[in-house]
Structure 1
């Protein structure tokens, strides 16, 4: 999933990347809302909140929301900067680094949330910023890796694109529909797995609480291992039978 360069990815690879990262975004968002009372995989609601706080002259809340927006932006910025810096050496290493950073951050959130978090406003705001940063990392990476086709935390744009592409697909003047169909498959996959991840996250939170954040990095780990597993297996066989 992470070895392919934009424009050369198969539909299967895009669907796998879309499903895995969308489920992560859905789980993270639902668990974030339940645990920290904040949306942590998108910024649309935070922009609306920012406007409301400015109107109400609630200066402290304005600063907090600006901090959250900046953290998501910073995650996307750093993700793309890293990929741009490393892609000439190794496409896999370039794409894997932001995922590894996301795993470390979310594991840290799981440890802190499970052992230290006491529900204070300062802790809630700081943790929300950290999770938004990790979602920025993920969204920036999958967007670049897929050539802008996949954005797993941006459902408003996804629904818009889906409506436009369905209209194109059903229009009688459209001749080549293969590309459109593939895009629609990917959009529907993102939507379905975002919902699935949200439902799973809510279910797990009812059982294990904030420790659900330990589950999310495991999904991300499978993305990292998918590309290197065949290589490791080949090396192991070579050593065993050489």
Structure 2
């Protein structure tokens, strides 16, 4: 799922990447709203909020929203930097490293949220920034390895692209191509998986609270293990036979 780069990826691998990462984004976003009263992937909304706070001259809120925007940006920056730095060693290692970092941070959020978090404004703003960093990491990675085709939390652009592609599909003067149909499948998969992830995240938060942040890293771990499991299994069988 993580090994292939843009241009080498099959529709199956793109659909698996889209469904798994979009469900994580949906789950994280809904849990972020319920736990910290703020969206953790809605950059468009945060930019609009920033403009409003600047107009109101509410400097404390301006600094907070600017910090959130920076954390998402910085997450995407770090993700791309890691991939570019490690790509010479192994594609899987390079693509897996941002996911590992995301898992570590989300586990930290889970531990802090369950044992330390008391609902103070400072804590809420700081943790929201950490989760936004994770979403930047993930979105930057998925966008890079899919050649910009998949963006797991950029639903505004996703819906826009889907509308344009569906328009091309039904237009009497347009040629229906396999590439166009595959893009539509992927867009629909991202949207559906984000919604399903959000529903599951809300349901889990209502039942186990902050412990939901322990579940999200487990989903991310399955993304990592999907590629490495066949390699480990092959090595185990080879060593067993020898």
TM-score (norm: length of structure 2): 0.98
- Structure 1 residue 149 and structure 2 residue 140: aligned? no
Counterpart of 1:9 in 2: which secondary structure? coil
Q: Which runs of 5+ in 1 are unaligned?
A: none
What is the CA-CA distance between 1:174 and the residue it aligns to?
Answer: 2.1
Counterpart of 1:74 in 2: which secondary structure? helix
Aligned to 2:66: 66
What is the CA-CA distance between 1:86 and the residue it aligns to?
Answer: 1.4
2:100 and 2:115 map into 1 onto residues whose CA distance is 22
Aligned to 1:14: 14
What is the CA-CA distance between 1:48 and the residue it aligns to?
Answer: 1.1
1:228 and 1:94 map into 2 onto residues whose CA distance is 13
Q: After the TM superposition, which residues 68-217 of structure 1 pair with which residues of structure 2 at under 5 Å, given as runs?
A: 68-217=68-217
2:5 and 2:57 map into 1 onto residues whose CA distance is 47
Q: Which runs of 5+ in 2 are unaligned?
A: none
What is the CA-CA distance between 1:176 and the residue it aligns to?
Answer: 4.2
RMSD: 0.7
- Structure 1 residue 4 and structure 2 residue 4: aligned? yes
Aligned to 2:234: 234
Counterpart of 1:152 in 2: which secondary structure? coil
1:161-199 deviation line (CA, Å, top 9, x unaligned): 000000111112222421110000000000000000000
2:240 and 2:43 map into 1 onto residues whose CA distance is 51
What is the CA-CA distance between 1:76 and the residue it aligns to?
Answer: 0.2
- Paired residues, number: 242
What is the CA-CA distance between 1:219 and the residue it aligns to?
Answer: 0.5
1:174 and 1:48 map into 2 onto residues whose CA distance is 36
